[in-house]
Structure 1
């Protein structure tokens, strides 16, 4: 503008007098004022409008005071942690969603987590330490208190409410993110009523109660999965609160380098959480799809009036175990074989399929009666299996987990623990007693590798004591090792044939006695 003025003044001063110069200058100025001014780009206009119309309306000090009021340690905070944790674990044990929701509503954990988010937005190290301490102590108290309640409780089974909090996925992170953004907005804008919905959506206390359950029952899978869910919710809420705080003008005094570091930190944390949770979601989606495909494949093997009453899939088994009960009016031969082959091709891995076909007549009453009978029979079988497992574990001196049960073949196998001064005959007697307690079942007790008995021979070289031979045969079948038989002579068919008939590898060696066969385990390195 000064350059234009100088040019006009110099030119007009020479060509004309003062009056003409003044008029020309006014014309130039008028043209300059009427020249259109270009609008600023949108990426500059929106932040300018946000700072001038939105951030200016926020009472930042009042918001900080509200946040600081609930993010520190206090007797009230400790009391509400205990009450919320107690209600949450009881709701989980009872599998009552209403009780669990009640624990969410009174949980005070949102206070320190939101406070941590605002402290991160303003890079207040003192406040970060204070909120982290409050949150850590509160979480520890909740875990210990819930574990104590579970130890005193007669109910220690994994309910549906507990199982639902052991497999966090990417959707849980998204729920926590959206809820935290809404909660931080409500805190900043003074909409306190929204916090209630945020507390229900984020569910901070139930995962901690589930961790306590896992600790009390020594179930690392439950405890680890629930803690990952709590950690996901806690970190996501804190970071989302920090994002909203920065968006509304908190931490404006930070340097560009600090702001850049904040952005990188938040991005890295979200990425680190999203990757494993995304993989978990992918696995859950695959399992859901596999269950749907298994149901469709089995359903196609039967007539239109058939119905699948029960479908159980063990995704941890190798091969994948699928068990189904089908109510059908007509028995389908080879349905299991065909469905197993198709399902294995669809899932890309071996599948062990067991289809139980239940003949039903026409009419709803008949079908319901058949279904009820099947369910009752299943419960009776499961109860029998549990009782048999406990008895075998007690007899063999091992944990129930060491007992292998094959319900389809009604066969049970247990590897016995070495007992003081016990020989092979002792373990054979234990097996006979266990078999007597479970009629219709095949019970096998595998003894330790103990010395085999010597077999006395008669004048013809045949075993003189049938009981000793039976004990040696039993031990050879249960242990599964080859045997060396030391006896004088090269031909003893009456002695070796019983072992060969039972698939036992026996090798004759030269011994010093003609009336006795010494049996030894052939243990190769």
Structure 2
């Protein structure tokens, strides 16, 4: 049987048979090339170098004996079949063993993308092998296409899967080694079947009647069955891969939507895996501030709703801050196909935060002891509000008013309000807050410990008779020798401490303490009485503002 599409002369057929028969001889040169190509492929896989792996494909001699098996089946040549099978079998063993030995060396072998790409074959790999097998056989029988053979050798990738099999066995990744070997088997069977068909259509079956069904099944039945089995298996792998990609797209869509309203947050990558009926998602996110559990729960609920399955979501948070010459700036995205950097459009919240940060960086750049810590934005009952956290000394109200006016002009938001939260630097030990020059409490003798307990109890009792002031904390300074014990009482209330208040505390302490005591009063922020006792009013106000902003956060994101 000869096809008009594939024209060969008797001389060309004889040359092809001679070349394949010679190339299928299992000699020392064949084994050396298999070993060398495997070493090259293994190094390329370990180094994650595609170019080196391609070089190994060019050196590998395995395609010729596979063609030899095809030609032997077509011609019914037992000797050629025996030699070709021996060459392929020995080549497989040498390739896997060589890679296994290399991977067993103390080279700190790590998994690379080149290795991972060969552990999960699918139907596309089978299709590539089928087309490459056709091109290779076609190039052999048609002398005008012979120069295409190196490209075919690259496309079929016979040695890299075998090298990857040995490397996976070396690191005890047996499932990965099975997938890699399956990729080789898929390539082998595809080349075998397609090359046989090409040889038959080229008229090289002058000793074989392809219309004889029994003879055809006897020669090609096993290979055809194996090919169909591989086809079914890889089709299943392809379906699974498509489902995984759809799942990944859905996860990315939800993450992008949820992170869009969080200023400066950028999704780096994510991983997902099913276990015990639950989907586990780990997202690597870069942002200017840490996520709180409530925000993680919000994203987890969105994923559960979108995917309609139980999800356990975790964020691996990396703190980053893009900083320009005048302050923070928006994230720079990747280049587009025209070579330009492009970024996404900022939300209204991001615009407010960005402008507020830039303005405050300019204003605090030369302010000694003052540093911008954080800017947030949301809706409060008074209207859209930018909340700024500063570390250092409180600014004057006139300064805050001027910044608010400037921001309203820059953002064209005449109803924007500015709230400034000031965090004064504190030092704390296991005993409490430290004030400069006051001990809290250092190494104490039993006598000093008794004095501390007595003084603290007395101070609290003393202020029960002082209207409008509440003791917040007590600090001590124990002088050496016969110096007095200094006691600093931090008070809060609706009025300033008076000399009468200090004198009353001093007299009560002098009556109960065995040591001479000198008292001092320090006025701090106003206090609020709660079910847990008195707390600083500033802390209560701060928590109230944060709670209000959190309540409207989701609604604001939807509007903007």
TM above 0.5: yes
What CA distance in whole angstroms lies between the structure 1 residues aligned with 2:167 and 2:3? 51
**What does residue 101 of structure 2 align with?**
148
Higher share of residues assigned strand: 2
Counterpart contact for 2:38–2:163, Cα < 8 Å? yes
**What does residue 283 of structure 2 align with?**
324
Residue 160 of structure 2, aligned match among 206, 223, 228: 206
**What does residue 268 of structure 1 align with?**
225
Could you say if the C-alpha distance between residues 362 and 153 of structure 1 is closer, same or farther in structure 2, counting changes exceeding 3 Å?
Answer: closer
Q: Secondary structure at the match of 2:205?
A: coil
Counterpart contact for 2:121–2:237, Cα < 8 Å? yes
Could you say if the C-alpha distance between residues 193 and 49 of structure 1 is closer, same or farther in structure 2, counting changes exceeding 3 Å?
Answer: closer
Say yes or no: does 1:292 pair with 2:249.
yes
What CA distance in whole angstroms lies between the structure 1 residues aligned with 2:175 and 2:254? 32
Q: Secondary structure at the match of 2:146?
A: coil
Tell me how far 1:362 sits from its aligned partner: 6.4
What CA distance in whole angstroms lies between the structure 2 residues aligned with 1:359 and 1:215? 39
Per-residue displacement from partner, 1:422-470 (whole Å, max 9, x unpaired)? Answer: xxxxxxxxxxxxxxxxxxxxxxxxxxxxxxxxxxxxxxxxxxxxxxxxx
Say yes or no: does 1:196 pair with 2:150.
yes
Residue 239 of structure 2, aligned match among 282, 286, 292: 282
Say yes or no: does 1:337 pair with 2:297.
yes
Counterpart contact for 1:309–1:326, Cα < 8 Å? yes
Tell me how far 1:353 sits from its aligned partner: 0.8
What CA distance in whole angstroms lies between the structure 2 residues aligned with 1:212 and 1:367? 49
What CA distance in whole angstroms lies between the structure 2 residues aligned with 1:49 and 1:91? 41
Q: Aligned-pair RMSD on alpha carbons?
A: 3.1
Could you say if the C-alpha distance between residues 272 and 348 of structure 1 is closer, same or farther in structure 2, counting changes exceeding 3 Å?
Answer: farther
Counterpart contact for 1:303–1:328, Cα < 8 Å? no
What CA distance in whole angstroms lies between the structure 2 residues aligned with 1:148 and 1:216? 8
Tell me how far 1:245 sits from its aligned partner: 0.5
**What does residue 231 of structure 1 align with?**
185
**What does residue 30 of structure 2 align with?**
77
Residue 173 of structure 2, aligned match among 219, 242, 245: 219
**What does residue 310 of structure 2 align with?**
350
Tell me how far 1:355 sits from its aligned partner: 3.1
Per-residue displacement from partner, 1:47-99 (whole Å, max 9, x unpaired)? Answer: 88729x83557732222112112111111101111111111111111111111
Could you say if the C-alpha distance between residues 123 and 350 of structure 1 is closer, same or farther in structure 2, counting changes exceeding 3 Å?
Answer: farther
Could you say if the C-alpha distance between residues 57 and 210 of structure 1 is closer, same or farther in structure 2, counting changes exceeding 3 Å?
Answer: same
Larger displacement relative to structure 2 (64-73 or 319-328): 319-328
Counterpart contact for 1:215–1:223, Cα < 8 Å? yes
What CA distance in whole angstroms lies between the structure 2 residues aligned with 1:58 and 1:244? 17
What CA distance in whole angstroms lies between the structure 2 residues aligned with 1:73 and 1:64? 16
Aligned residues: 324
Could you say if the C-alpha distance between residues 333 and 316 of structure 1 is closer, same or farther in structure 2, counting changes exceeding 3 Å?
Answer: closer
Tell me how far 1:366 sits from its aligned partner: 5.3
What CA distance in whole angstroms lies between the structure 1 residues aligned with 2:237 and 2:199? 31
Counterpart contact for 1:150–1:156, Cα < 8 Å? yes
Tell me how far 1:134 sits from its aligned partner: 0.8
**What does residue 8 of structure 1 align with?**
none
Could you say if the C-alpha distance between residues 338 and 309 of structure 1 is closer, same or farther in structure 2, counting changes exceeding 3 Å?
Answer: closer
Could you say if the C-alpha distance between residues 195 and 306 of structure 1 is closer, same or farther in structure 2, counting changes exceeding 3 Å?
Answer: same
Tell me how far 1:257 sits from its aligned partner: 2.0
**What does residue 266 of structure 2 align with?**
308
- Unaligned runs of at least 5 residues, structure 1: 1-46, 372-525
**What does residue 59 of structure 1 align with?**
12
What CA distance in whole angstroms lies between the structure 2 residues aligned with 1:266 and 1:144? 25
TM-score, reference length from structure 1: 0.56
Could you say if the C-alpha distance between residues 152 and 246 of structure 1 is closer, same or farther in structure 2, counting changes exceeding 3 Å?
Answer: same
Residue 70 of structure 2, aligned match among 105, 117, 120: 117
Residue 124 of structure 2, aligned match among 165, 168, 171: 171
**What does residue 212 of structure 2 align with?**
257
What CA distance in whole angstroms lies between the structure 2 residues aligned with 1:333 and 1:138? 56
What CA distance in whole angstroms lies between the structure 2 residues aligned with 1:202 and 1:84? 14
What CA distance in whole angstroms lies between the structure 2 residues aligned with 1:212 and 1:338? 45
Q: Secondary structure at the match of 1:131?
A: helix
What CA distance in whole angstroms lies between the structure 2 residues aligned with 1:291 and 1:349? 14
Per-residue displacement from partner, 1:206-255 (whole Å, max 9, x unpaired)? Answer: 11111111222222122111111111111111111111101111214423
Tell me how far 1:296 sits from its aligned partner: 0.9
Higher share of residues assigned helix: 1
TM-score, reference length from structure 2: 0.53
Say yes or no: does 1:129 pair with 2:86.
no
**What does residue 135 of structure 2 align with?**
182
Per-residue displacement from partner, 1:498-524 (whole Å, max 9, x unpaired)? Answer: xxxxxxxxxxxxxxxxxxxxxxxxxxx
Q: Secondary structure at the match of 1:323?
A: strand
Could you say if the C-alpha distance between residues 307 and 195 of structure 1 is closer, same or farther in structure 2, counting changes exceeding 3 Å?
Answer: farther
What CA distance in whole angstroms lies between the structure 1 residues aligned with 2:51 and 2:3? 45
Could you say if the C-alpha distance between residues 153 and 198 of structure 1 is closer, same or farther in structure 2, counting changes exceeding 3 Å?
Answer: farther
- Unaligned runs of at least 5 residues, structure 2: 334-560
Q: Secondary structure at the match of 2:260?
A: coil
What CA distance in whole angstroms lies between the structure 1 residues aligned with 2:49 and 2:309? 38
What CA distance in whole angstroms lies between the structure 1 residues aligned with 2:110 and 2:318? 31
What CA distance in whole angstroms lies between the structure 2 residues aligned with 1:356 and 1:150? 32
Larger displacement relative to structure 2 (160-169 or 310-319): 310-319
Tell me how far 1:132 sits from its aligned partner: 1.0
